[in-house]
Every structure is written in C-alpha cells, then in structure tokens.
Structure 1
Amino acid sequence: MDDQFYLQDSRSHVGDGLTFHGKEHRGYYTDLDKCELYTKEKACGHRDTDIPWPKRYIDERAHYGVDCQLMDEQASNSMLEPGCRVYLQVPGSWNGNDVYWMGWNKGQVTADLGRACNLNLEQSRIEFAADLSAGSRKLWSAEYIDSIRRRLVWRQDVDLKQALRGTGIKLAKPKKPREEVFNCGGCGRFIGDMQRYREDCRNCGTSNTP
C-alpha cells in the first residue's frame, strides 16, 4: 500500500544498513521484516531524528544480507551433501554484521547475497582448494544460508528527496542543540562548554577546566 511507511532512526546505522523502528516499538532493526509499518500520519508524528520512508520505495531497493550472528557452521555442514550448491564466504570481512561473499566476477566480493555466486560443492572444493586450505574462503550450504538471510537496505541505495516526492511530506530541519554555557569561576562571565577546555577566561584569565 502507498500509505505504509518504515520509520528510520537516523541517529544510527549498522555498517551501510539503515536501521528502522521495530515491531511494537521494540528496538531498532536493519531486518525489514522485523520493522513496524506506519500510516503517513503516524510516521510523521515522531521525533525529528525519525525519518519516514515509503514502504514500496524501500522494498524496491532492498537486498538480502546474512548476519554473522545467525550463522551456525555445524548446521550448515550437516547440509553439505554431494551435488548441493554452496556460497563462498570471505572470512574476516563484514559490512556491519553482514558477511562478505565471493561474487560471480573474478576478485569481486559482496555483502549482497543476490550478487554472490553459488556453485556446485564438488566443483568448489576442487577449484578453490588452495583458498579453502589457507582459510581465505569458506564453504556454506546455499540452502542453509538462504534460510537465514534477511532483507535490508543500504543508505547509498536510497535518496530521501526522491522517496518523498509526491507524498506531501515535508521534513522539519532538526534543531541545533543549544551550546551549554557556564559562569567563569573567577569573574562570573558566561563561557561556552568548549571554550573552558580550549582556553582560560578571556576576561580574567581563570582556568575553568573541570
């Protein structure tokens, strides 16, 4: 529906993945299937750091990633049977929590599972024997990985102005927080928070560093 929105928490992100309000307002997630959907009215009634994104726009630009915290090597190994398909992980590399995989093009690695190559198990063991032995590649059952993948969207794949065009939503500019001020301990004049660390009072020379 056009009147459904995800609500981004713009204060944080995980790697390149945008984080959104979770269902029942419990936490924040990059996994779109765990995120709450709002009407236009409710999406616009939150903090100025919360950004409404049309569901259709986000869904069209979403991809699948695999959270390293969900990966169970034992479960995957039990599914490595002759003739099965496998993905080749690049160990030690992450985009946020998402692992990197070997892509179809030589030398290409990607955290987008849709761009990762999946090959025959026996072929992979032969073709990448040296990499597997050195630990620079690792085999995972494609069936297993596909069962734990999740939908997310990267910040570089979306454009807020484009997304909100035609929705009638005008975002308020976040208010700049007022700088905290203090009284100089020597003369009582006002000094800014950063000034008291950077220099002594310009009026009386008193150090106001905490």
Structure 2
Amino acid sequence: MSQLFYLRDSRSNVGDTCMFWAKNGLGYTSDLNKAHVYTKEEAQRYFDSRETDIPYSKDQIDQLATVRVDHQYLPTTSLPFIEHDTDCVIHIVGDYNGNDIYWLTDAYHSVEYSDALVLPQAEALKKAVHLAKYNVETVIYPKSVIDHIARRTFQVSNVNKRKMVTGAGIKNNHPRKRNRPTTGRTRGNCPDCGKVTWGFNPYELYTCAEAKNERLGLGYQLFDNCEDVKQARSAA
C-alpha cells in the first residue's frame, strides 16, 4: 500500500459526498481526480495544524470511490444524436443528492452513474415516453457526453477512520476532548444573601429557598427563605 493521502475537510459535505482539498490548495472539491495527493509527512503536518483536515489513505479511498455526475456540469442545451443507435443514458429529473443527479436503472433510479441503464437512442425515447405517463420527467443524454463530465467521489458512509487514518500510519496528536457531565442547572447568586445557587431556568435569579425546593423536586414551598435552608443544612 502506498503512503499517499487525500486531505478531507471534515467540516462539511455535499449531500453524502466528502469534500477534499483540491490540487495546489485551490479550495475544496468532491472530485477525487482534482484532489491534491499528499505524502504521509505532508498529510501529518496539515492534520497537526488543523484537526478538521483529516488525511485518508488514497489507496483505500480509491477502492471505494463511486462515479457520479454534478448537475452544474450538465449541458445547458439539447444535443443532437449522431446515430439512432447512439448509446444514451436517462436522467431522472427532480431528485438530487447534494449536487449529484439520478439516473434511470434496472431498479428504477440511482445516483451512481455506473448503475445507469445504457440504451440506444430509439429505446431511450420509448422509455422516456413511458415514464412521462407516470409524471416522471426525464432528460436523455448521449453516454459519451456524460462520460466526459462524470467524476469519482467518496461517500461519508464509507468513512472508516481506524483503517483509513490511524491504520494507514497517521497519528492523532490532538488532545482528546472530554465532555463534562452536567446537571442542566445554571449558576447564579441568591438575591437575598448572595450565596451561590443553581437552577434550571437560566433567566431567573434563584433565592436559596427556591433553589432548594427545585432541587428536591417539590411542587410547594417547603423552604421559605435563606434561614430555613441554612437550618436544614445544619441539621443534616
């Protein structure tokens, strides 16, 4: 296995597709063919600088890559077909996964372009007419045109940090964040005596008596003032 990596920006995705640093630092891209490839040393350095830029093994990402088509690169005008037997693919209009579009397949539709049904133009037109009867809007494209804009992508569901990051030799040098348990109460000061009080309503100043009653889960005023609370503490 080679020691090469893609650098993922883990802060956001497009649909369920991961974003990676593009070649030469030119922003981010979902197209693996446009993603910058880093050595292990470079990847570790970037990861150490910012923990959201996570290096993933290039070999493992490439093995799980899927081919999809971004709607932004579709032809804006209808294209003439060269021959009636030209291989065509059928885009199902209306559904998107991020920027990626869906294609007619044997099992209805899929965002994976490799699953698209490939038909001669005449058969593709018949399919489109049939689907229109069920109010399914379609657009037919020559396969050769879509092949030119299709790109390799990687999905969040395939992320495995243990194998693709640490298992590939990248060290996580960032301190582990510990989540402190919380009661849900907010700290304040008793407006009568100034002692620290805790209450569930962050917009109220709790007296000692109010905080004590709430902490005991009482629906009535067992304690009326700070002195009552002080005496209860002494008795305990």
Name the TM-score, length of structure 2 as normaliser: 0.71
Question: Which residue of the other structure, out of 53, 63, 68, is the alignment partner of 1:50?
Answer: 53
CA 1:84–1:13: 2 relative to 1, 3 Å: same
Q: SS at the partner of 1:200?
A: coil
The aligned runs of 1:67-146 (5 Å cut-off) are 67-74=70-77, 77-79=79-81, 81-105=83-107, 107=108, 109-132=109-132, 134-146=135-147
Q: C-alpha distance in 2, partners of 1:203/1:11?
A: 43
Q: C-alpha distance in 2, partners of 1:60/1:146?
A: 20
Give the structure with higher Rg (CA). Answer: 2
Q: SS at the partner of 1:89?
A: strand
Match of 2:219 in 1: none
CA 1:94–1:127: 2 relative to 1, 3 Å: closer
CA RMSD of aligned residues (A): 3.1
Which stretch has the larger CA shift, 28-37 or 128-137? Answer: 128-137
Match of 2:160 in 1: 159
Q: Post-superposition shift, 1:202?
A: 3.8
Gaps of 5+ in 2: 180-187, 209-236
Question: Which residue of the other structure, out of 58, 61, 66, is the alignment partner of 2:64?
Answer: 61
Q: SS at the partner of 1:144?
A: helix
The aligned runs of 1:185-204 (5 Å cut-off) are 198-202=202-206
Match of 2:19 in 1: 19
Match of 2:169 in 1: 168
Asked if structure 2 preserves the Cα contact closer than 8 Å seen for 1:61 and 1:158, the reply is no
Quick one: which amino acid aligns to residue 67 of structure 1?
D
Deviations 1:146-181 (A, max 9, x none): 11111111111232212236423232466479xxxx
Asked if structure 2 preserves the Cα contact closer than 8 Å seen for 1:80 and 1:141, the reply is no
Q: Post-superposition shift, 1:125?
A: 1.4
Q: C-alpha distance in 1, partners of 2:12/2:121?
A: 39
Asked if structure 2 preserves the Cα contact closer than 8 Å seen for 1:21 and 1:36, the reply is yes
Larger RCO: 1 or 2 (CA < 8 Å, sep 6+): 1
Asked if structure 2 preserves the Cα contact closer than 8 Å seen for 1:48 and 1:173, the reply is no
Q: C-alpha distance in 2, partners of 1:189/1:59?
A: 61
Match of 1:180 in 2: none
Deviations 1:109-152 (A, max 9, x none): 11110111111110121244132474522211111111111111
Name the TM-score, length of structure 1 as normaliser: 0.78
CA 1:28–1:39: 2 relative to 1, 3 Å: same
Q: C-alpha distance in 2, partners of 1:52/1:189?
A: 51
Quick one: which amino acid aligns to residue 26 of structure 2?
R
Q: C-alpha distance in 2, partners of 1:24/1:167?
A: 23
Asked if structure 2 preserves the Cα contact closer than 8 Å seen for 1:12 and 1:19, the reply is yes
CA 1:202–1:70: 2 relative to 1, 3 Å: farther
Identity in percent: 31
Q: SS at the partner of 1:143?
A: helix
Gaps of 5+ in 1: 178-183, 205-210
